[in-house]
Structure 1
Amino acid sequence: MKGFADNIEKLTEENNNFRQVLYTGQNIQLVLMALQPGEDIGEEVHEDRDQFFRFEQGTGEVRIDGVANQVSADDGVIVPAGALHNVVNTGSTPLRLYTIYGPPEHLDGTIHKSKADADASHEHFDGRTTE
């Protein structure tokens, strides 16, 4: 097994995809995201998985069960399983971040170039890992 080793800050800052799955393990998944100004992920609840967000560029807001948390570069946020949450880009430049799901949420290798692509897709983790 090779795992994943790379410069996550550089990869995040260079990412222009709304969502790009970089690595999927049995219990954890690494995903890059870029939200355009005014864009959000969309309110959601993951009943059975925790989620960590790390912000590299831009400004935004993470709402967790009705509480708004302002975020910018170098901030991290954990959303526990069962919490209603959303990430919103409140700035004038892309909000670039990576997120870690535990356990995985998306199909390994998923790339959604835009939020519209993501909204049109109904994929979910199927048990297949990167290696």
Structure 2
Amino acid sequence: MKGFVQDIEGLAHKNDLFRRVLYTAKNCQLVLMTLKAKEDIGIEVHKLDQFFRVEEGSGEAVLDGVHTPIRDGFAVLVPAGTTHNIINTGTVPMKLYTLYSPPNHRDGVVHATRADALADKESFDGITTE
């Protein structure tokens, strides 16, 4: 079957990796993420749009300096060119998934920790899942 059809909520709850690319299409990419207590994604600015959905935990979305509390069930849409960060302000892991449009990472990439992600200078190479 083409495409990705799975229980994204269940996958997000089970994920303990900082970043795991699940599926890469030509124009978007689905990625699981987990932020440890007090961990953040890091301040970023992309030339692409990004969507986050929090499945578990609580924290803050920071978009162009505006801090907004978020928790499970919240969605965050980050337009291209927006300085942003997602921060886990809680005491338990924050489980979420994100969609990049267009893709931002190499298909299938896994970063167990934030340190692994920072050390890896990878980027999308044009290769999709299918």
The answer for unaligned runs of 5 or more in structure 1 is none
Matching residue of 2:12? 12
Matching residue of 2:31? 31
After superposition, give the CA deviation of every residue in 1:25-84 in whole Å (9 maximum; x if it has no partner): 00000000000001000001002x100000000001010000011110000010000000
The alpha carbon displacement at 1:11 in A equals: 0.1
Task: Give the TM-score normalised by the residue count of structure 1.
Answer: 0.98
User: What's the C-alpha RMSD, in Å, of the aligned pairs?
Assistant: 0.6
> How many pairs align?
130
Matching residue of 2:76? 77
* Moved >2 Å (runs of 4+): none
Matching residue of 2:94? 95
The answer for unaligned runs of 5 or more in structure 2 is none
Question: Partners in 2 of 1:69 and 1:101 — Cα distance?
Answer: 21
